[in-house]
Amino acid sequence: MPYDPSAFPPFAVTVDLVVLTVRRDALCALVVRRGEEPYEGQWALPGGFVGADEDLSRAAARELQEETGLRAHETAGGFPGAHLEQLATYGAPDRDPRMRVVSVAHLALAPDLPSPTPGGDAQGARWAPVDDLLGATDISHRNAGGAHKASLAFDHGRILAAGVERARSKIEYSSLATAFCPPEFTVGELRRVYEAVWGVVLDPRNFHRKVTGTPGFLVPTGGTTTRQGGRPAQLFRAGGANLLNPPMLRPEV
């Protein structure tokens, strides 16, 4: 308690980002290839140092912008942009062999982006299905059935798992699933987001009744689209409601 600010162990503080999106009906995370030791050549989560006079959330938003071009905002709704929130902080003494680094992990949820490999200052970046990234436990460069699998650098596998779990549980009781959708979307497209994130199949009819019956969740724009084929579907925007009550229920609990 006698808290002496002149004698304290020095730490480096970074932000790491779990950026999730839904591509081709699969939940994907943004990973970058490391260009230097340690873990050179392996995939890692994007991130970087927090500036000397920079707030943590601001550092996270800056990194997100640098990696994806997306602007972050707190509440789901306005587009284009991504939802950004703090996830957890990782600070095991040996998590980086070079020095003592405390990393404040953040979670970002973004709509599917046009460019497959978003621009950034990393050597390489790609969207990888989280099942591939998390399927590999510790075995580097394991190839099973043609799937590209390799464990992430540092403790980024744990961080990614925490981010995925947070996203999975949060779309239950909040309207955050709309953060994965373009500005206007159909009920079917929103349902495919839930199906991709949870890895389940939902009844289209019950889902439709549920989401359209929850006040403030969806706002009809008046337009329709047939981009999914079949009967034209109404287009919606995300409503102002942030908390869903009652929640969407994940099946088989």
Partner DNA sequence: GCAATAGTGTCTATGAGACAATATAGT
Partner DNA sequence: ACTATATTGTCTCATAGACACTATTGC
Question: Contact positions toward a copy of itself, by CB under 8 A?
Answer: 1-3, 5, 8-13, 32, 35-36, 46, 48-56, 86, 88-93, 96, 98-102, 104, 120-122, 245, 253
Distance between CA atoms of residues 95 and 27, nearest Å: 27
Of the chain, the end-to-end C-alpha distance in Å amounts to: 45
Within positions 96 to 155, which residues make up the interface with DNA, using CB under 7 A?
A: none
Closest CB to a copy of itself among residues 124, 223: 124
189 binds, among a copy of itself, DNA, none (CB under 5 to 8 A by kind): DNA
What is the SS3 assignment for 148? Answer: strand
Least distance from DNA to the Cβ atom of residue 195, Å: 11
Scanning 35-99, the segments in alpha helix (DSSP H) are 56-68
Distance between CA atoms of residues 234 and 168, nearest Å: 26
Interaxial angle between packed helices 187-198 and 156-173, expressed in degrees from 0 to 180 and rounded to the nearest 10: 140
Q: CB–CB of 162/67 below 8 Å?
A: no
Closest CB to DNA among residues 41, 188: 188
DSSP state, 41?
T
Q: CB–CB of 181/191 below 8 Å?
A: no
Closest CB to DNA among residues 10, 213: 213
State the residue for tokens 């549980």: 169
Beta bridge partners of 209: none
Closest CB to a copy of itself among residues 105, 187: 105
Q: Which stretch binds DNA (CB under 7 A): 21-29, 46-54, 115-123, 243-251?
A: 243-251
Within positions 170 to 229, which residues make up the interface with DNA, using CB under 7 A?
A: 186-189, 203-206, 208-210, 212, 224, 226, 228-229
Answer yes or no whether residue 168 interacts with DNA by CB under 7 A: no
Query: Given the rule CB under 7 A, which residues bind DNA?
Result: 186-189, 203-206, 208-210, 212, 224, 226, 228-234, 246, 249, 251
